[in-house]
Amino acid sequence: MHKKSETVNSLNQLLQGEYMAIEAFNVFISKLDDDYAKLCFQSIQTQHRNNIDILAKHIQDIGGQPHENTGLKGKMAEIKLDMGLSSDKSKVINKAIEGETQGINMAEKVLRGKLDDASRKIAGEILQNDRTSIDKIRNLISS
């Protein structure tokens, strides 16, 4: 029972990060004037939404309850991001890379924990998605 609880807690941490990513991308998208960059960011945001669906379903499937909000910490981070970010494309891109890097660090931390095979596979897929997202964002630097 303890192992399941530990797994659910780890997956919920990852889930919280995904919700924070969606909120951050709402801010990023609102700051961008470049239509191509907006489309790229919307695509990445959609991937984060898909990650949420997969994580929440898996948490329920293993008998846990998904924590489906960012909490006060996430809301404060969103407000700080919104207030401190200009509409300069390069600054938005750098903030997005920073955020995705934090997501990668979280997924790696979860993967180092005690997970069952199915949970490990899901966390690994999310990690790979985040790495792909960083590549997409970096490609915007030269566009």
- Report pLDDT digits (tens) over 43-74: 999 999 999 999 999 999 999 999 977 665 55
Give residue 97's pLDDT band: very low, low, confident or very high (50, 70, 90). very high
Q: Is the dihedral of CA 89, 105, 116, 56 positive or negative?
A: negative
Give residue 90's pLDDT band: very low, low, confident or very high (50, 70, 90). confident
Average confidence (pLDDT) over 93-114: 91
What pLDDT shows up at residue 68?
78
What pLDDT shows up at residue 80?
54
What pLDDT shows up at residue 142?
77
Across the chain, mean pLDDT equals: 87
> What CATH number should be reported for the domain whose range is 2-141?
1.20.1260.10
**In this structure, what token pair is assigned to residue 63?**
């008998």
Least confident interval from 32-36, 40-44, 76-80: 76-80
CA 21, CA 44: separation in Å to the nearest integer? 9
Share of the chain above pLDDT 70, in %: 85
CA 14, CA 51: separation in Å to the nearest integer? 9
Q: What are phi and psi of 138, to 5 degrees?
A: -60, -35
What pLDDT shows up at residue 74?
53
DSSP code per residue over 65-88: ----S-HHHHHHHHHHHHHH--S-
What pLDDT shows up at residue 1?
45
pTM of the model: 0.87
Cβ 48 vs Cβ 22: under 8 Å: yes
**In this structure, what token pair is assigned to residue 74?**
């996430």
